[in-house]
Structure 1
């Protein structure tokens, strides 16, 4: 089923990518509702910035605690089975949260636990999705950029563009509704994924290394690859900056001395971020072909780093919205570029482990950023985390800038140590 050029990739769309695209799009729609509803639920329970930020931080802990081992396990399991299991377990978990919210039993610790469980499933589900795409379309860089762009466009449209306004509106109507909708979305996603051929990829039955040794092999390969190593550093800085700014952004957005938007308006701000991601995904390949992946990543980091301080300087939601779109484009285009680089450069037998090593490093910055954002907001006010986020990302981008700008290798070039 593997293809090596653009035409077969297009022909495979009805049998493979369309079903994957449908599953990602539908479950992302429910996730968007969840992502808008969780901070609103936390802000309803408490106005303590540190407590609200703790819920955001909990969403990223699985990337630190579980992701390193998930890659080694994915290399041993069937990808379709992993995706189906993750969808059905998350449906049960978020459905339970809907009941707790409806009965008034939701607390900050329970919201944090639910957020942790949702992302735990995402760790395995996303890892399987990343590994399935090259199985469907081959490992040619431009073809991967196009396929990944479609996947991430669907993800951003659901998770950031359409889902959040529906989630915040649903929460305003009745708080349990967004969580119930997310549970249903996982069931629909599972139905779509069940039609992906089970024989798409059969794990090797030969001798397998111990889990820790398998994990180390992925870490070592990434550490020795100069291009991916640099990309991981920039992506880590971007995640730290984003989460430092976003962890308490709901408080700034809904504060009368901040952007002063209602609960439904907060969902629209999330959608502004998503518009950038949806518009940016399809043109990522164009930038990579003309500038090269490393230069593209550098320019996106600079744009991202400048946008947060500019948002902090305004009290107008209409001015903040297009800047959030810039951040959304930068984040999504960076992700699409990095996913394509890993898929085209990492050996097939190591891909899940290299993915896991990369994403563990990058996502480890997320809970750190969220906690930093909560502490800074508590000490210096709700705008302060946005200034800190921008300064941190710009500093890292400028330090890595010369190395990234002179690295002109494409996503299809061979590995160099």
Structure 2
């Protein structure tokens, strides 16, 4: 049995093309996001404008995420990824041309950022939905694949991309955006070579797009395991954004770090996160996915508490590294379960609903953390966040237990084999009683 599972978990050669495309695209993202504020500084020093530019990165998911998920379930997912990348490439070519001709202004930059975000919604949702098709919904293979994708994203977007973007911008204001455009072009060409998924026998739905989006939300809310997997990152984002809102002040006023020290402090989280992507599968194999998710919730709470009570920058940095590792392991394990159990016809919608649930808690946490630091001191958001994560650990132990995950995986397998309920929606009632 063990040997068979190991063979099934072996990743096909086509996955390595996705991996390469993701790595190059993540490198381009890192280049873009480091060069974008530098370009904006040549146009304005208004902090309100910079706040608007930051909000633009979130708005596409809030405004378009659910609709994007419904569209992905209607469209060919491979083709959707290719078109989304080509459109983003074209937008960056437009940015490059505008910069070279001196036609760029802040309004144009914000609009292009919003359109790039919409392309990201469609690409990310289609990618999350396509991967289970490619790997035949094998949970072990999905864990390995998500681990490698997460590792590539953190290495390229977090380490290599930002300094490369700054260097390219110092050479020419257009170079970073040319590089990002090339990364999207490369990604689209590679993804175009991937296997075409089998045609679905059922006719395409003619229902209104908003009604189809609501079906995905309903499925998520009525499926206890999926709800638990979605609440986990939502609660985590509430706590992490609450501390992230004051992290720069905390590092400066409490840990007494300068600009260079603060940059190194942030890097510890990225280093930990890179490590966490590689230990996720090991933890899942030894503790079960549910046990591993409970452990990472406990580790996140302890690590955040350690960062908040430490007066030593090195100890706080170590805590931040452990926090990053636990977060990365969670982000590898949780989506792998969802991809293995959600019916194919709902994968885009449920994935988008889960992503929106997780992201929506972030702004609320940031506002709460800023207010709490104002009334109770800079350590207070860390202490409160740790308390919230302790509660999350209890919730994770109940809603995402090994028993519940094993039951959901078995039910999903029965449905796919045609021995259980004939419709993916029928699994809602079964899971609700687990």
Could you say which TM-score interval applies, normalised by the shorter chain? 0.7 to 0.9
Q: 1:59 & 1:28 partners in 2: Cα distance?
A: 15
Residue number in structure 1 paired with 2:431: 416
> CA RMSD of the aligned region, Å?
3.7
- 1:339 corresponds to which of 328, 335, 342: 335
Shift of 1:114: 4.4
**More deviation, 150-159/66-75:** 150-159
**More deviation, 326-335/122-131:** 326-335
Distance 1:370 1:119, change over 3 A: farther
- 2:58 corresponds to which of 57, 60, 67: 60
Shift of 1:176: 5.2
Q: TM-score, normalised by structure 1?
A: 0.81
Distance 1:203 1:90, change over 3 A: farther
**1:161-185: per-residue Cα shift (whole Å, max 9, x none)?**
3223323444566665444432221
Aligned residues: 406
Distance 1:374 1:193, change over 3 A: farther
**1:325-367: per-residue Cα shift (whole Å, max 9, x none)?**
3233222221221211111111222222221221121122234
Shift of 1:69: 1.3
- Any conservation in 2 of the 1:27–1:189 contact (CA below 8 Å)? yes
Q: Tell whether 2:275 aligns with 1:279.
A: yes
Please list, as runs of the form range in 1=range in 2, the aligned pairs for 1:148-167 lying within 5 A after superposition.
148-167=146-165
Residue number in structure 2 paired with 1:298: 294
- Any conservation in 2 of the 1:234–1:397 contact (CA below 8 Å)? yes
Q: What SS does the corresponding residue of 1:138 show, helix, strand or coil?
A: coil
Q: 2:256 & 2:80 partners in 1: Cα distance?
A: 43
Please list, as runs of the form range in 1=range in 2, the aligned pairs for 1:127-138 lying within 5 A after superposition.
127-138=125-136
**More deviation, 64-73/166-175:** 166-175
- Any conservation in 2 of the 1:306–1:390 contact (CA below 8 Å)? no
Please list, as runs of the form range in 1=range in 2, the aligned pairs for 1:3-402 lying within 5 A after superposition.
6-7=6-7, 10=10, 13-14=12-13, 16-38=14-36, 45-46=44-45, 48=47, 52-97=50-95, 103=102, 107=106, 112-171=110-169, 177-197=175-195, 199-202=196-199, 206-208=203-205, 209-246=207-244, 249=247, 259-262=257-260, 271-308=267-304, 310-311=306-307, 319-372=315-368, 379=374, 383=378, 387=382, 390-391=385-386, 393-394=388-389, 396-397=391-392, 400=395
Distance 1:286 1:365, change over 3 A: same
**More deviation, 141-150/113-122:** 113-122
Decide which structure has the larger Cα Rg and report it: 2
Q: 1:117 & 1:288 partners in 2: Cα distance?
A: 38
Q: 2:30 & 2:187 partners in 1: Cα distance?
A: 14
Shift of 1:118: 3.0
Q: 1:168 & 1:237 partners in 2: Cα distance?
A: 34
- For structure 1, the residue ranges without an aligned partner over 5 or more in a row are none
Does 1 or 2 have the higher relative contact order (CA < 8 Å, sep 6+)?
A: 1
**More deviation, 276-285/224-233:** 276-285
**More deviation, 391-400/148-157:** 391-400
Shift of 1:244: 3.5
Shift of 1:159: 1.6
**1:72-103: per-residue Cα shift (whole Å, max 9, x none)?**
11111111211112112222334444566675
Shift of 1:247: 5.1
Shift of 1:57: 3.3
